[in-house]
Amino acid sequence: MIGILTNHLWQSTLFAAVAALLTVAFRGNRAQVRYWLWFSASLKFFVPFALLMSVGSHLQWAPAAKKIATPAITFAVEKIAEPFPSAAVTVRPAPGSAMDRDRLVTFSLFGLWMIGFGAIALLRLRAWRRIRAVVRASTPLEITTMAIPPNLQVRSAPGLLEPGVVGWLHPILLLPADITERLTTRQFEAVLAHELCHVQRGDNLTSGIHMIVEAVFWFHPLVWWIGARLVDERERACDEDVLRLGNDALVYADGILQVCKIYLESPLRCISGVSGSNVKKRIQAILAGRVAGELNFAKKAALAAAGMWALAVPLVVGMMHASSWQAITRPATMPKWEAVSIKACKPGERGGRGNRGGGVDRGDTSPERLNISCIPVSGLIHEAYLTFTDGKADPLRNLPIEGGPEWIKSDLYQINGKAETRTTQEMMMGPMLQVLLEDRFNLKIHLETRDVPAYAMRIAKNGPKLQPFKEGSCIPLSSLRDGPPPAFLPGQQPLICGVEAIWSKGQDRILDMYQVSINQFSGVLRRYLNRPVIDETGIGGPFEFHLEFAPDESTPLLLLRPPGEPAPPENEPRGPSIFTAVEEQLGLKLEPIRGPGEFLVIDRIERPSEN
């Protein structure tokens, strides 16, 4: 959170610096132009570039078709592209860990911010109550010397508060009760014209918005400097308008001086008066009779280009970092189905609802036949688009599947198919099953990559503690093609290369993997942590992984124990968290970041007609 705030602050500071340079370039033009430049710098504090990038992320370029088996797109996400934080799984840091210290710092800074915000809010509330008391004590006043807008109330207020406009939806012009006696008619008309300019410009609304910016970002000196510049330019803009209306400069200057001598300035910046800003400089400019010229074509074009740049750059960056939609393609040449049968399974059938025995029937397979017993459609999608993506087995490939109705997890189907020519089970379970799902289930699906909360796997301070893979320590998966994989007991060394094995040991879990790379190991951790885990170690492999840890809120999937497994005693000692275990047992560390996450997204699916 601190990093995101810091990122936003330097963006806003840079934007304000550009606005300041533009005001210098337009110093010979109307103050109204400079006012809106400063106001845009104020609004930037409320509009992070990430918000525009989020909009841009939904305005993608035409997606390029890529194979689903390609690795995740490499993101070089600049700081400027960091979006708002999104909901994430709660992580329980180890006591005294860096994450624990960061959380303490975050809460401390938030508490300090609340104190500052509350103090400013109380001061503004106090000043506003003073203004409201004056409004309640005021009485209606009729002005006959000049036209008054129909939506503007004019009221006579007791006391020494200067003339000013209160409110913006239903503005009220407060005039001191004795002002007509202290000013000449022409001075009064000039001062009144100044206040009407504030009403027409909507200065109370923009000033109120900046007061909110000051309250929220009170710790940033720049917002207070911008506030002073806004007051300067709004008063000069009204002065220019008053002179442009034909009022005598000397009479107008005398009127302002009389108001400053007799009356008190409003305690709130959002109450537009006549005596704000540097009165000496204003009087000098008024007496000089300087009425700034209009913008020429070149300067109008420069302003338009600056505005387009401020909007277009974050939108384009958002489009560049948009969710990447990858069309799913298959080998150009592959066998086709000669005949396929799809049948919905009934409860109680082999592999039916509640039965975990569904899957490929290895006992009745041949180079051209595929027999899948009752498994849910979500399992079929997983097998076709992940495990056997390109006709090769990759049991460790596991991505979240999003979208689709609930029945794809509950309804189970049995599929029997015969290919036109001899092929492999992997080809039938992968690309050919993809075609079947798209034809018979009307499945529309795509692989999507987007920027999400993630973990970076990096080398710990004391270096890696990885065990190199030893030949013969596991059975190659390819040797199991003609039969079911062998079973192994809890605590027993897994025998299958490249396949994860996890079991319970009291309240803890043990994860073993053999002949896998760190990148593959990271992919397995993704499923347990419910976040992408990005390998940044630069180490290849293969290795043998043995990890013992205690599941907690950071590993919600592992909090669910297998059916029939008794719960361990509550007082049984617990092992370290998965974060501590990775660091202590493997010499690696998991650090929260934002990074690319891949998702299989179902756009459309329908129940098939049986045959």
Three-state SS annotation for 515-541: EECHHHHHHHHHHHHCCCEEECCCCCC
Instruction: Give the Å distances, CA to CA, from 33 to 27, 290, 294, 497.
Output: 9, 16, 9, 70
Quick check: 71 pLDDT over 50?
A: no
Give the highest mean pLDDT range of 360-369, 393-402, 450-459, 566-575. 450-459
Confidence label for 49 from pLDDT (cuts 50, 70 and 90): low
In 3D space, the residue among 540, 53, 35 whose CA is nearest the CA of residue 311 turns out to be 53
The secondary element (H helix, E strand) that includes residue 511 is strand 508-516
Report the C-alpha gap between 443 and 307 in whole angstroms. Answer: 44
H or E segment to which residue 118 belongs: helix 98-137
Whole-angstrom Cα distance, residue 216 to residue 386? 47
Residue 416 host element (H or E)? strand 412-419
The mean-pLDDT minimum among 64-73, 287-296, 332-341 falls in: 64-73
What pLDDT was estimated at residue 265?
A: 67
Residue 74 has pLDDT above 60, yes or no: no
Place of tokens 């690319």: 596
Highest mean pLDDT among 284-298, 342-356, 577-591: 577-591
For 290-404, strand residue ranges (E) read 324-326, 337-344, 369-376, 401-402
Alpha helices in 263-330 (DSSP H): 279-287, 297-320
pLDDT per residue as tens digits for the range 574-591: 889 999 999 999 999 999
The lowest-confidence range among 91-100, 160-169, 199-208, 297-306 is 91-100
Q: What is the mean pLDDT of residues 407-421?
A: 91
Handedness of CA 451, 454, 459, 464 (dihedral sign): negative
* Total-model pTM: 0.52
CB 398 within 8 A of CB 523: yes
DSSP state letter for 569: P
Average pLDDT over residues 364-374: 79
Q: In the 8-state DSSP scheme, what is residue 566?
A: P
pLDDT at 357: 45
Helix (H) or strand (E) holding 173: strand 172-176
Higher pLDDT, 505 or 116: 116
Buried/exposed 214-253: b ≥16 CB within 10 Å, e otherwise: bbbbbebebbeebbebbbbbbbbbbbbbbbeeebebebbb
Question: What pLDDT shows up at residue 134?
Answer: 87
Mean of pLDDT values over 409-423: 90
Cβ atoms 554, 90 nearer than 8 A:
yes
Neighbours of 430 (CB within 10 A): 27
Residue 3 binned pLDDT confidence (cut-offs 50, 70, 90): low
Q: Give the list of residues 6+ apart from residue 558 with CB closer than 8 angstroms, or none.
A: 502, 509, 528, 551
Cross-strand bridge partners of residue 467: 544
- Mean pLDDT, all residues of the chain: 79
Of the pLDDT bands very low, low, confident and very high (cuts 50, 70, 90), residue 66 is very low
How far apart are the C-alpha atoms of 26 and 23, rounded to whole Å? 5
Task: Report pLDDT for 598.
Answer: 86
Q: What are the tokens at 584?
A: 């202590």
Question: Residue 235 belongs to what H/E stretch?
Answer: helix 221-244
Give Cβ neighbours of residue 470 (< 8 Å, ≥ 6 apart): 544
* pLDDT score, position 561: 62
Where is pLDDT greater, at 253 or 361? 253
For residue 603, is pLDDT > 60? yes
Two tokens, residue 372: 């899948």
Is the N-terminal amide bond of 542 cis, ω within 30° of 0? yes
Q: Rounded to whole angstroms, how far apart are CA atoms 453 and 595?
A: 6
Is residue 98 very low, low, confident or very high in pLDDT (cuts 50, 70, 90)? very low
pLDDT class of 481 with cuts at 50, 70, 90? low
Choice among 239-243, 308-312, 339-343 with the minimum mean pLDDT: 308-312
